[in-house]
Structure 1
Amino acid sequence: MQAAKILILETSTHNNRLNKDQFRKWGFEVIQRICDDGVLQEVLRMEPQLIFVQTDDENIPKLLDCIKHARLQMKLKETPIVVQLPDKGNTTKEALFSAGVTQCLLEPVSEIELKECINSLLKQVELKNRLEMTRRALEESLHKINRQRAELDHHLTLAAKIQESLIPQNLIQVPFCNFYCHFQPSGKVGGDIYDIFMLDDRHMGLYMVDVMGHGVASSMLAVALSEFLVVDVNRGTPLKRELDEAPYYEIVSPVEVIHYLNKRFSFTKYQHYFTIFYMVFNVETGELRYVRGAHPEPLLMRQDQTVETLNAYGTPIGFEFSQGYEEGILQLQPGDRLLVYSDGLLELEDDMRQPMDYDKLQHMAGEYLADSNGQGRPFAMNFKQMVDHQSRLKDDLTMIEMVWQP
């Protein structure tokens, strides 16, 4: 460890080696100079950890001027300055302290007192230096963190754009069906994903997936699922299979699709599970076949103002114990309205900070049918005001509302 550097300044040419020899005996590096007009620049180059001044009464004015100039230099602003005064120097202490002196010692000074004073001040210098180094290291760390956060935000923004691009934008190609859709992740990216597509000229497919949690990992799996659940038979889709005879394809039943996904996306492999609602709908006859892998129960709002839930049994996708999926079959009537949603809807709170639940949701659906008879603006728009009043969504929110009007 490098010895502390002490500068001894004298206000006269009298060479007093007593303190110089004592400091060296204690293991300090010692430099001795005369306090004159040219010494300040030399002191700045030396960068001592402590300045010790020996003076007499007649040289006090010169010393005060020297100290005041030293304190104006940034490098010497915090350097301890100890002044050793004659035994009658009490009257000059106030002026010295005002000029920037750290400690005044009156002669005679004992060895123990001098050593304790010097060691104490040097320890303070060491602690200040460590604190400054820590502050600088913290500033560098914060700068690095802010830079990494800005880079992460940039990548998350790009990921959000990719995820948004996978959300269907144009649904007019589905015959006899009108849609209202709302997608809002709780962060920049989320674990919800959905798609609506034609399996052939008569059959529409619709799925909604909610991956456990939210954030980058959930979003990546959601994107992977959207790329996997495509209609292209040539890409090995689980939604359709090729046949050797006309029409050369077969639409896979919803329950078979779920069983396949449960094997393909095991929790052991991906460390995530997800819920899913998948349905196949005949747009000409109104027959709806669906399966629900632990996804919230969709609502079916009938034209006769009754409200039903699509509650066929199913467990989350990804677990080995998952089994016993039920495939539900319903017959829609013209004007019937279907609401499919993720559990982010049930996390919404009303003006009284009360969360949504199944009973409240069905009650709202019944009031909607009674007021509008299923006509007018979509039922899902009733939740827009609730969404706008949330300080932050607790979970990703996705809603799809479909009206069949053949």
Structure 2
Amino acid sequence: MKEVKSYKSILIQIQFVLFFLWILFFQNCFDLHSESKVENQFEQSVYLIDRFYFWSEEEISDPETIPNEGWLPFEAKSLGFKTKTKEYLYIKFSDQFIRQLQSPILYSEIAIERFKVFQGKEIVYQSDVSDFIFPHLIPLNATPQGSIYIQFQSRYLGYIGMDQDVIFKNHSQALIDLFMENFSKTFFAPVLLVLSFIFMGFYFLRKKEMIFLNFSILLMSASLMEALNGFVGFSLRQYSFYIIPLTFINFTFFPFALLLFLVCIFPPFFRNLFKLVAFVHVIVFLLSIFRHYEDGISFLNSEEGYNWIVVLEATIAIFSSIYVFIKGNRQVREIIFGILIIVISGLHDTFVDLEILNHQFRIIHYGFFLMLGFFGYYVFKHYWELLHSINRMNAELRNKNKELQRLIQIDKDLALANALQKSLLSSKYNEDEKIRIIGFSQNLESVGGDYFDHTKDSMGNWAILIADVSGHGISSAMVAAMSKMAFVGAGPYLQFPARVFHLMNRHLVGKTKNLFITAGYLFIDTESYTATLSNAGHPSFLLIRNSEKEVKPLTAKGKPLGLFSHQSYEEETVNLQPKDKILLYTDGIFDLLNEEGESFGEDRLKSLLWEYRFHNIQDLSSILQDSLFRFSNGWRHQMDDLSYLLVEIK
């Protein structure tokens, strides 16, 4: 049955949203800052004064020389036009309001052109900075001169003139109003910056979690946007050569950073889509910059060229977020809410720039605030759960420490068992004037169930045994040790292979706990140059004789040791020749796999032995070991213990 979300959980989320709506209302109360009487601000607005304009193809050094009949009245609520190429725009309005002010200034919220301000005949202000989106505080003479003239020379293709509010104010009051308007931004920016460093720290603690790095970059970009687009940016206007490019580049970088963040939390299809859109975003931005490189880059003109990609990105992010919200993991729903809010608010402001929506107010700042609220709620919830799990984690840590101590002891025991097992094995090299023996063993774990032995009797004959206990690990190693003891007990009968297996089997039956042993035994009579062998369910021996046409298997019938109490074993005898080589091995060689899952197999083993049959026994053993090692990619695909003994007749 599908789990139903509790009313308590829904209530918490509703309370959370209402809390932030209250915060926004409180913040808006700060934004209703200025003079205590709204009428006072309204009466000082330049938009209520008779305003006139004049176009000129040449610069006029004294606007008062322009004839009165050349001035044309502005339409209501207007102080600008579409740009005319290579023409100057002059604006004129009365300065009579300054009589009411002690230290009068002309406050212009945004003026993006290069312009000069005349009070009467006197130039009182001159701006040579392009793309300047911060307010201008233009000082005026306290004595009215009749008219104020503003001369504009614009590089901005879309608009020329004054933009938004233009108001007469006292200088001190204007600074206070500007600070209060941007109070939340000025306060919000360092909060975002601190959070950015916190998440950067999370990334360095867990470098595999790219979501922390990308979220840190996103917060840092938002912090710069909030700081440089408010009172701080205005205060740094003397460094406008650096501040303006940084501000505009960050405007463009923020959507890119948001796309990188979305890559970390969305399903694979959307990740690839966002990567593609992020790549296109960078290309479109660079092309737009290069297209508008005239006497220096104009960012505001470039903005017209890449706003469409921002709209496309926002549309994709909205639909993707809705999909993930409905189908995705509930744990990231708070993040999805934050993403939807910031994307929709950014899309609104982009539509304002494209003049699709009429300008009333920008909401990107509120989007940042709510985005941080939802992301902060997500992080708070995560760490609240973490705090409640501290006791459980401490208990688990204590258990892990006990387990670690137990594992350390097991490792010590395994190391000791490995040393003991090596002491049970015969040496890996032995020889006399008649034969030479080389052995090799590679366990799957620290200890294994493979075991080989070779011993020489008083007559100079050799008894050679190789055994493989079923399974691997400690239990198999213990049974292998039992096999060693059983073989030692059969010492008086070494020249009779079937008798040796009969005695070993009688000793092992009922003591191996469902484990069994396959074994092969070879007795070499060095006087008659004959080899007698028996087999207990083990792979056949391989005889490598240069005079033969191929590798010859040597086998005899018999069942594994330790299974049946009354079991007989056959013997087979073969004549030996000088330079003959015999390979005794366990089936771990056949079970060895490569990266494609192919087994080494018997045919591959025979082919290798036949190809290098003329090599001496040391070289042949080295070639065999190297081939097994490379085939399994450094024993990475070993499935069982493997061992072999290579015997050469001199």
The residue number in structure 1 matching 2:639 is 394
Q: Structure 1 pair 226/170, CA: closer, same or farther in 2 (3 Å)?
A: same
Q: Structure 1 pair 396/130, CA: closer, same or farther in 2 (3 Å)?
A: same
Residue 378 (1) aligns with residue 623 (2): no
Return the match for 1:263 from 497, 501, 506: 506
The residue number in structure 1 matching 2:423 is 165
From the two aligned structures, give the one with the greater helix fraction: 2
Deviation at 1:364, TM superposition (A): 2.4
The residue number in structure 2 matching 1:87 is none
Residue 179 (1) aligns with residue 424 (2): no
Deviation at 1:228, TM superposition (A): 3.3
Give yes or no for contact 1:350–1:386 (8 Å, CA) kept in 2. Answer: no
**1:7-406 pair list within 5 angstroms:** 131-169=389-427, 171-172=429-430, 174-230=432-488, 237-240=489-492, 251-267=494-510, 270-305=513-548, 306-320=550-564, 323-350=567-594, 353-369=597-613, 372=614, 377-379=619-621, 381-388=623-630, 389=633, 390-405=635-650
Deviates more, 1:194-203 or 1:285-294: 194-203
What per-residue deviation string (whole Å, max 9, x for no partner) do you get for residues 282-341 of structure 1? Answer: 123221011111111110011214321112111111112874522111111111000011
Q: Which amino acid aligns with 2:587?
A: D
Q: Structure 1 pair 151/373, CA: closer, same or farther in 2 (3 Å)?
A: closer
Q: Which amino acid aligns with 1:404?
A: I
Give yes or no for contact 1:156–1:188 (8 Å, CA) kept in 2. Answer: yes
Deviation at 1:134, TM superposition (A): 2.1
Distance 2:598 2:387 in 1: 55
From the two aligned structures, give the one with the greater strand fraction: 1
Give yes or no for contact 1:186–1:396 (8 Å, CA) kept in 2. Answer: yes
Q: Structure 1 pair 175/329, CA: closer, same or farther in 2 (3 Å)?
A: same
Give yes or no for contact 1:174–1:198 (8 Å, CA) kept in 2. Answer: no
The residue number in structure 2 matching 1:109 is none
Q: Which amino acid aligns with 1:393?
A: Q
Distance 1:222 1:373 in 2: 32
Q: Which amino acid aligns with 2:496?
A: S
Q: Which amino acid aligns with 1:381?
A: I
Name the SS for the 2:646 alignment partner: strand
What per-residue deviation string (whole Å, max 9, x for no partner) do you get for residues 172-202 of structure 1? Answer: 4544111221111111000011111112223
Give yes or no for contact 1:175–1:283 (8 Å, CA) kept in 2. Answer: no
Deviates more, 1:299-308 or 1:166-175: 166-175
Deviation at 1:395, TM superposition (A): 0.9
Name the SS for the 2:612 alignment partner: helix
Give yes or no for contact 1:180–1:378 (8 Å, CA) kept in 2. Answer: no
5+ residue gaps, structure 2, are: 1-372, 374-383
5+ residue gaps, structure 1, are: 1-97, 99-124, 231-236, 242-250
Name the SS for the 2:475 alignment partner: helix
Give yes or no for contact 2:509–2:561 (8 Å, CA) kept in 1. Answer: yes
Deviation at 1:210, TM superposition (A): 0.7
Q: Which amino acid aligns with 1:143?
A: N
Give yes or no for contact 1:294–1:315 (8 Å, CA) kept in 2. Answer: yes
Give yes or no for contact 1:193–1:209 (8 Å, CA) kept in 2. Answer: yes
Distance 1:366 1:322 in 2: 39
Q: Structure 1 pair 360/257, CA: closer, same or farther in 2 (3 Å)?
A: same
Q: Structure 1 pair 268/157, CA: closer, same or farther in 2 (3 Å)?
A: closer
Distance 1:321 1:375 in 2: 39
Distance 2:394 2:596 in 1: 48
The residue number in structure 1 matching 2:129 is none
**Pairs aligned (count):** 267
* Alignment RMSD (CA, Å): 2.9
Q: Structure 1 pair 170/209, CA: closer, same or farther in 2 (3 Å)?
A: closer
Give yes or no for contact 2:429–2:438 (8 Å, CA) kept in 1. Answer: no
